[in-house]
């Protein structure tokens, strides 16, 4: 059986929160999937996709997924990093599921822990570090422990998750990962200036909408205009 959790730590000690949730799993043969709060599955049968990956590599130490926004290049899909259209994200996830269902690539490096699937028996021997100073690098520590124990880490190529990953605050923002930051503090976001439609911009927009004409067509238009003007002058006389 697979258990799914989205742990949250009020003490900025996510390692302790991970361990608390893993303790809830009753059987050592069960798996726990730990998710970041700003992640979302985009396919309807994501649980079955994870189960298929586990069935192919039952002795794995840890599984993770691919995503749109994350620092780890092995997991990130660069083409989707700045894609804000939810429909396009969902289509990309469905395409990844269709083309890479059940496929997992082994990695010898640490992963970003937006999504981590760990077996209860593995966690019993390799637990998350419980540090009360910050949340950073907990995923890297558990990866090193698992690899040192001779277990393998896999990245599921058919499981693609949406990850918000500081899309407003910026990639360098880490205050939410540190202790003693008030929960009500809202990061400062620069206000977007309204787009002013200038004469030059309006001309560019009109030029894009106006079909291009050849010099010969332009000459004929000028001749017709001149003829029309001469006729109007004769009528006035």
Q: What is the pLDDT of residues 11-65, one digit of tens each?
A: 889 999 999 999 999 999 999 999 999 999 999 999 999 999 999 999 999 999 9
Domain tally, the chain: 2
Q: Tell me whether residue 145 is in a domain.
A: yes
Say if 24 falls within a structural domain. Answer: yes
**What pLDDT was estimated at residue 197?**
53
Mean pLDDT (the chain, rounded): 86
Record the tokens describing residue 15, joined without a space.
């390692």
CA 13 to each of CA 16, 24, 196, 203, 229: distance values in angstroms, whole numbers, following the listed order: 6, 18, 47, 56, 83
Q: What is the reported pTM?
A: 0.73
pLDDT at 212 exceeding the cut of 90: no
Whether 171 and 206 map to the same domain: the answer is no
Domain stops at, among 145, 177, 209: 177
230 in the same domain as 145:
no
Looking at the structure, tell me whether residues 90 and 205 fall in a common domain.
no
133 and 37 within one domain: yes
Domain boundary pick from 177, 211, 228: 177
Range of the domain at 151: 2-177
Convert the pLDDT of each residue in 139-148 to its tens digit. Answer: 999 999 999 9
Question: Are residues 138 and 207 both part of a single domain?
Answer: no
Does residue 182 lie in a domain region? no
**Residues 124, 215 within the same domain:** no
pLDDT at 179: 62
Residue 224: pLDDT over 80: yes
Point out the domain boundary residue: 177, 212, 228. 177
What pLDDT, on a 0 to 100 scale, did the predictor assign at position 184?
45
Is residue 187 situated within a structural domain? no
Higher pLDDT, 199 or 77: 77
User: Quick one: pLDDT at residue 229?
Assistant: 77
156 DSSP β-pair partners: 65, 104
Domain-located, residue 212: yes
- pLDDT score recorded for residue 169: 77
Domain-embedded: residue 186: no
């Amino acid at each position: 059986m697979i258990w799914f959790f989205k742990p949250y730590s009020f003490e900025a000690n996510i390692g302790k929160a991970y361990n608390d949730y893993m303790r809830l799993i009753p059987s050592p043969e069960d798996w726990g999937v730990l998710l970041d709060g700003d992640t979302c599955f985009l396919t309807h049968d994501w649980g079955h996709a994870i189960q298929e990956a586990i069935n192919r590599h039952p002795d794995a130490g840890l599984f993770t997924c691919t995503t749109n926004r994350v620092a780890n290049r092995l997991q990130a899909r660069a083409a989707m990093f700045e894609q804000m259209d939810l429909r396009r994200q969902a289509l990309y996830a469905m395409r990844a599921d269709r083309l890479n269902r059940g496929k997992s690539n082994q990695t010898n490096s640490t992963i970003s822990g937006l999504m981590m699937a760990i077996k209860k028996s593995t966690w019993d021997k390799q637990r998350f570090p419980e540090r009360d100073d910050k949340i950073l690098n907990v995923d890297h520590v558990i990866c090193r422990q698992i690899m040192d124990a001779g277990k393998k880490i896999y990245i599921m190529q058919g499981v693609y998750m949406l990850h918000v990953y500081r899309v407003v605050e910026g990639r360098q923002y880490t205050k939410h990962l540190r202790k003693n930051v008030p929960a009500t503090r809202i990061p400062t976001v620069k206000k977007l200036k309204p787009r002013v439609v200038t004469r030059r911009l309006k001309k560019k927009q009109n030029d894009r909408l106006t079909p291009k004409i050849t010099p010969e067509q332009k000459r004929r238009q000028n001749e017709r205009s001149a003829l029309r003007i001469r006729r109007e002058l004769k009528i006035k006389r």
